[in-house]
Amino acid sequence: MAAANMKAVKLRIKSVQNTMQITKAMQLVAASKLRKARDRAQQSEPYYKILKNTLTDIASGNNDFTSPYTKSGSNDKWLYVVIAGDRGLAGGYNANLFRYMEKETEGKDYTVLPIGNKSVDYFAHRNVPILTREFAEVGKVTISDCFEIAKLICEDYRNGEFGHVTMCFTNFISMLSQVPSGTAMLPLSDFVKEDVDPKANKNLILYEPDSESVFNAIVPEYLAGLLYSTINVSVASELAARSNAMKAATDNAEDMISTLSLNYNRARQASITQEITEIVGGAETNDA
Amino acid sequence: MAATFHLQVVSMDGLEYDGTVQRITLRSIDGDVAILARHMNYCTAIGMGTAKVILEDGSERSAACIGGMLSMMNDECRVISTTWEWKEDIDVERAQSAKARAEERLKDQQLDKEARVRAEAKLYRALVRLGTAGKQQ
């Protein structure tokens, strides 16, 4: 019995070792990609921050509603741009984002524009209406794709297909914490709801040539900018989540291997002891 | 000494400038504008052109500035531009080859409308870069 048990343990060790090799490789790959992704995310961070501050300032001071982009939602249809990963094995990265989405969209009439394979799969599986699947691979989205997405969103928004456009992504707080969050995209009045400051006085702003043409010119661009920077942040979050998950998996595998080796050695020891007892026992009967 | 104000310039490549300046001139969709200190709250969309910034010490820097918006709120000026390349950072060779490529594409009469618009935009961008770098023939 001992020999069979030993063999089983040995096989198990081997299989855990193989898994560990894979998780270790994935961890290393994610960690090395992460460095680049973090640089990119950090680069676009000021753009995102200043853009958002400026738009919040403008939206809170705005009392001009000639442009369709500034009016508060004409109907109650929502468009969610959901930025998830292309692949799994990233810990809770995708699951957390989708859980956040569930909570956000509860009771709303919504359509999604998924970015990232996982996001496409998830909403297709749930029969949620999907605007386009063209941008399924988050790893391949470029600046010009962002402009295309922005144009698409603007067109549909202006045609009254949606009253609100919101984006869900995963914010990179630190290596150890990535939090799913959302940000308003359209209309501009949605920005004000986010951080209500009752004391903010309505500033008078001069628009040149006029507010409508200013907004019509800047909105597609700011959407593209917003998209690009949040995609960068999300990619960094995904890689950090994957690197952490794979590190945990590798550590776990190491623990398992050490426990299994202990069991293996114990079984080996037991079988040797048994053999000796048998030999000694046999010799004694011979002597008698 | 001329009055100064705080200017922040960001592009998709990051924070390009953050500091005190005397003046910024750039091309909006409606023509050239210059912003001085204590300008009223103002917002415009940026067109394509060369932007000039007069720094606190009176020296001048120029940059290719394309797309985005300029906002002046309570003496804080923010330029959020799609492209902002300082004159010294412009890759002239790349712009020249982009210009040649775009011109080549535009010669094609069968080009559909969208491709034409895209090629024209590329050409303008290349021309702005070359103009800013002072290498335009």
- Listed as ranges, residues in chain A with pLDDT below 50 are none
Whole-number Å distance between alpha carbons of B58 and A168: 45
Whole-number Å distance between alpha carbons of A287 and B2: 115
Q: Which residues contact A70 (CB under 8 A, 6 or more apart)?
A: A59, A62, A64, A187, A188, A189, A211, A215
One domain, residues A7 and A44: no
The distance of B104 to chain A (nearest Cα, Å) reads 21
Is B71 an interface residue toward A (CB < 8 Å)?
Answer: yes
Is B4 an interface residue toward A (CB < 8 Å)?
Answer: no
Residue A29 lies in a domain: no
Measuring CA to CA, how many Å separate A118 from each of A82, A171, A233? 10, 17, 17
SS3 B12: coil
Q: Do A46 and B73 touch (CB under 8 A)?
A: no
Q: Do B78 and A204 touch (CB under 8 A)?
A: no
Own/partner long-range contacts of A129-136 (Cβ < 8 Å, ≥24 apart): A131/A79, A131/A156
One domain, residues A120 and A238: yes
Burial classification of residue A152, based on how many CB atoms lie within 10 Å of its CB (0-12 exposed, 13-18 middle, 19 or more buried): middle
Q: What is the pLDDT of residue A141?
A: 80
Q: Do B74 and A203 touch (CB under 8 A)?
A: yes
One domain, residues A212 and A157: yes
pLDDT tens for each residue of chain B, 137 residues long: 678 899 999 888 888 889 999 999 989 888 899 999 888 888 888 888 889 999 988 888 988 888 888 988 888 899 988 888 888 888 888 888 888 888 888 887 777 777 888 888 888 888 888 888 876 54
Is B117 an interface residue toward A (CB < 8 Å)?
Answer: no
One domain, residues A222 and A250: no
Whole-number Å distance between alpha carbons of B128 and B48: 7
Full strand arrangement of the beta sheet holding A178-186? A109-115, A77-83, A164-172, A178-186
One domain, residues A232 and A268: no
Our count of domains for chain A comes to 2
The distance of A27 to chain B (nearest Cα, Å) reads 28
Q: What range defines the domain where residue A283 resides?
A: 2-23+246-287
Measuring CA to CA, how many Å separate A255 from each of A17, A90, A252, A261, A267? 11, 21, 5, 10, 18
One domain, residues A257 and A230: no
Residue A11 lies in a domain: yes
Q: Do B44 and A228 touch (CB under 8 A)?
A: no
Residue A28 lies in a domain: no
Is B44 an interface residue toward A (CB < 8 Å)?
Answer: yes
* Domain harbouring A14, CATH code: 1.10.287.80
* Domain harbouring A134, CATH code: 3.40.1380.10
Q: Which of B28, B30, B65, B69 to mutate to test the interface with A (most CBs of A within 10 A)?
A: B69
Residue A31 lies in a domain: no
Token pair of A14 as six digits: 């081997």
The distance of B73 to chain A (nearest Cα, Å) reads 8
Token pair of A272 as six digits: 């040797």
Residue A33 lies in a domain: no
One domain, residues A9 and A58: no
One domain, residues A47 and A64: yes
Helical (H) or strand (E) element with A254: helix A211-287
Q: Do A54 and B71 touch (CB under 8 A)?
A: yes
Cis upstream peptide for A209 (omega within 30°): yes
φ, ψ (nearest 5 deg) of residue B122: -60, -45
Q: Which of A67, A148, A206 to mutate to test the interface with B (most CBs of B within 10 A)?
A: A206
Whole-number Å distance between alpha carbons of A137 and B18: 35
On chain A, the residues whose CB falls within 8 A of the CB of B42 are 205-208
SS3 A53: helix
On chain A, the residues whose CB falls within 8 A of the CB of B78 are 50, 53-54
SS3 B11: strand
Q: Do B67 and A221 touch (CB under 8 A)?
A: yes
Whole-number Å distance between alpha carbons of B31 and B62: 17
Whole-number Å distance between alpha carbons of A259 and A278: 28
One domain, residues A68 and A123: yes
Q: What is the pLDDT of residue A162?
A: 82
Whole-number Å distance between alpha carbons of B32 and A196: 35
Q: Which of B16, B30, B80, B122 to mutate to test the interface with A (most CBs of A within 10 A)?
A: B80
Query: Hunting for tokens 């998209």 — which residue is that?
Result: A227
Q: Which of A214, A55, A54, A224 is nearest to B77 (CA)?
A: A54
Q: What is the pTM of this model?
A: 0.79
Q: What is the pLDDT of residue A14?
A: 93
Token pair of B84 as six digits: 């902002």
One domain, residues A150 and A220: yes
Q: Which residues is B17 bridged to in the sheet?
A: B9
The yes/no answer to whether this complex scores an ipTM above 0.85 is no
Whole-number Å distance between alpha carbons of A281 and A108: 80
Residue A30 lies in a domain: no
Q: Which of A108, A107, A111 is nearest to A126 (CA)?
A: A111
Query: Hunting for tokens 């504008």 — which residue is that?
Result: B33
Residue A202 lies in a domain: yes
Residue A266 lies in a domain: yes
Q: What is the pLDDT of residue B137?
A: 46
Q: Which of B41, B72, B79 to mutate to test the interface with A (most CBs of A within 10 A)?
A: B41
On chain A, the residues whose CB falls within 8 A of the CB of B28 are 208
Q: What is the pLDDT of residue A89?
A: 82
Is A205 an interface residue toward B (CB < 8 Å)?
Answer: yes
Domains and CATH numbers, chain B: 5-88 (2.60.15.10), 90-133 (1.20.5)
Whole-number Å distance between alpha carbons of A88 and A242: 8
On chain B, the residues whose CB falls within 8 A of the CB of A145 are none
Q: What is the pLDDT of residue A229?
A: 86
One domain, residues A18 and A148: no
One domain, residues A210 and A257: no
